[in-house]
Amino acid sequence: MGIVVQKYGGSSVADAAGIKRVAQRIVNTKKQGHDVVVVVSAMGDTTDELRDLAQQVTPLPPPRELDMLLTAGERMSMALVAMAIQRLGHEARSYTGSQAGVITDAVHGKAKIIDIRPGRIQEALGDGAIAIVAGFQGVSHDTKEVTTLGRGASDTTAVALAAALGAEVCEIYSDVDGVFTADPRMVPTARKLERVSTEEMLEMAASGAKILHLRCVEYARRYDMPIHVRSSFSNLEGTWIIPDNHPGAQDMEQAIISGVAHDRSEAKITVVGVPDKVGEAARIFETLAQAEVNIDMVVQNISAATTALTDISFTLPRADGQAAMAALARIQSEVGYDKLLFDDQVGKVSLIGAGMRSHPGVTAKFFSALASAGVNIGMISTSEIRISVTVDEAQIETAVQAVHAAFDLDADEVEAVVYGGTGR
Ligand code: ASP
Ligand code: MG
């Protein structure tokens, strides 16, 4: 039997009882004959609490020290899980990201994995031990500093390790039974999906579905690694994310719509009065790229005939708002725009489904569902299999529920159970 990588999220290891429960699950998998590698998140809301603590000490925590602080969260869980497994009579060894060979670039707070050298993990497995790895962290190849991979990135650690080890499957354990047609915290009648293609899962994760980290899905697709999303609180079969080239992917029946996702983590910036000439947009977005700001939706109007000026609006992570505004302010005279507007009261609602490619009318139905619910639409963006709009943040819930109902996604009986977590 092959290697199984299991990732346990913060709500699964929130307290001593959770850690013992998870340890038992890990041991059961080991007893079935698998080699087991476990990736853990920080306990409960530890990462948020550590961030809050840093904020109380200084408004702008130095990125290097913040990474040192935050990585401590996962180290607590890894050691405790290893102890709990040993107490059950099995050998377990915990490793920091750096010890596990997670090599990253040097960007603190959102480092990218550039290589995995899992020598010590393979050694542990060779000795018959269970390896426990701290998620969401690595070590920079260039600076030798400890880095973090971004919020929610323990998923990415798990899939990257699974790929490097040639694992059979990467199991992601969370506090719900799988991927649902909407966040069950917002739509209690959401339905569990049995299978989702990586293509759709990428769109869902990019649209704010928090169940899986976006980069972990990209990794799974690139390395053809199946992911099984399930709950550590039940024994139910969860949702399988099947890479497009994987055996069985072709027979997947494609529903028209796989779900509705929402995102409250974005803000909108509008650059008002941009002169209509070659190179202006390039200059604006180069500046944002240099500031390491990830852009999501972009809208530019045609310029007004009388003024030859136009407005460019885009969305970005709220957390990058300050950095983006400062970077753009520095090029105001060069670009010659009038002013910048910042709005952090926006929410994004997206409808995702591979079947929409071949079904006309999906967009019309989406917009009319929002209209009937009295929701005004801001920006719009689409891909072949997704429609996204920005709405007033206060209306996200109304919008998501209206769209979910309009596309008949509601289950007759409530099947979603939220077992734990604070949803923070
Ligand atoms: N503990 C980190 C976070 O809360 C990483 C993770 O849970 O995936 O973002
Ligand atoms: Mg997570």
- The answer to whether residue 419 scores a pLDDT higher than 90 is no
3-state secondary structure the chain: CCEEEEEECHHHHCCHHHHHHHHHHHHHHHHCCCEEEEEECCCCCHHHHHHHHHHHHCCCCCHHHHHHHHHHHHHHHHHHHHHHHHHCCCCEEEECCCCCCEEECCCCCCCCEEEECCHHHHHHHHCCCEEEEECCEEEECCCCCEEECCCCCHHHHHHHHHHHHCCCEEEEEECCCCCECCCCCCCCCCCECCEEEHHHHHHHHHCCCCCCCHHHHHHHHHHCCCEEEEECCCCCCCEEEECCCCCCCCCCCCCCCCEEEEECCEEEEEEEEEECCCCHHHHHHHHHHHCCCCCCCEEECCCCCCCCEEEEEEEEEHHHHHHHHHHHHHCHHHHCCCEEEEECCEEEEEEECHHHHHCCCHHHHHHHHHHHCCCCCCCEEEECCEEEEEEEHHHHHHHHHHHHHHCCCCCCCCCCCCCCCCCC
pLDDT band at 248 (very low <50, low <70, confident <90, very high): low
Range 49-74 average pLDDT: 97
Tell me, what's the pLDDT at 423?
Answer: 59
- The answer to whether residue 254 scores a pLDDT higher than 70 is no
**Mean pLDDT, the chain, integer:** 94
User: CB within 5 A of ion ligand 2: which residues?
Assistant: 9, 152
Range 108-130 average pLDDT: 97
pLDDT band at 255 (very low <50, low <70, confident <90, very high): confident
Q: CA–CA separation, 263 vs 348, rounded Å?
A: 5
CA of 34 relative to ligand 1 center, distance in Å: 26
Neighbours of 421 (CB within 10 A): 17
Range 296-320 average pLDDT: 91
Tell me, what's the pLDDT at 198?
Answer: 93
- The answer to whether residue 421 scores a pLDDT higher than 80 is no
pLDDT band at 416 (very low <50, low <70, confident <90, very high): confident
Residue from 39, 48, 67, 154 to probe ligand 1 pocket by mutation (most atoms less than 8 Å from CB)? 154
Atom of ligand 1 nearest to the CA of 152: 8
CA of 149 relative to ligand 1 center, distance in Å: 9
Tell me, what's the pLDDT at 415?
Answer: 79
Q: Can you state the angle between helices 63-87 and 46-57, rounded to 10 degrees? A: 150
Residue bearing the CA closest to ligand 1, atom 5: 152
Q: Sign of the C-alpha dihedral, residues 200, 201, 206, 209?
A: positive
pLDDT band at 302 (very low <50, low <70, confident <90, very high): confident
Tell me, what's the pLDDT at 301?
Answer: 82
Range 408-423 average pLDDT: 82
What domains are defined for the chain? 3-253 (3.40.1160.10)
Atom of ligand 1 nearest to the CA of 136: 5
Range 139-160 average pLDDT: 97
CA of 9 relative to ligand 2 center, distance in Å: 6
Query: pTM for this one?
Result: 0.90
Atom of ligand 1 nearest to the CA of 73: 1
Token reading at 385: 């299999």
Residue from 75, 78, 136, 170 to probe ligand 1 pocket by mutation (most atoms less than 8 Å from CB)? 136
- The answer to whether residue 253 scores a pLDDT higher than 90 is no
Residue bearing the CA closest to ligand 1, atom 8: 152
pLDDT band at 422 (very low <50, low <70, confident <90, very high): low
- The answer to whether residue 152 scores a pLDDT higher than 90 is yes
Tell me, what's the pLDDT at 304?
Answer: 80
* 331-369 confidence digits (pLDDT tens): 999 999 999 999 999 999 999 999 898 888 999 999 999
Residue from 43, 47, 265 to probe ligand 1 pocket by mutation (most atoms less than 8 Å from CB)? 47
Tell me, what's the pLDDT at 83?
Answer: 98
Q: Which ligand is nearest to the CA of 77?
A: 1
- The answer to whether residue 37 scores a pLDDT higher than 90 is yes
Tell me, what's the pLDDT at 131?
Answer: 98
Residue bearing the CA closest to ligand 1, atom 9: 151
Q: Which residues line ligand 1 (CB under 6 A)?
A: 9-10, 41-42, 47, 73, 135-136, 151-154
- The answer to whether residue 250 scores a pLDDT higher than 80 is no
Nearest alpha-carbon partner for 411 in 241, 114, 182, 162: 182
CA of 422 relative to ligand 2 center, distance in Å: 12
| Amino acid letter for position 17 | A
Tell me, what's the pLDDT at 161?
Answer: 98
Sorted by sequence, the CB contacts under 8 Å of residue 339 that are 6+ apart come out as: 272, 273
* 196-208 confidence digits (pLDDT tens): 999 999 999 999 9
CA of 11 relative to ligand 2 center, distance in Å: 9
Tell me, what's the pLDDT at 252?
Answer: 63
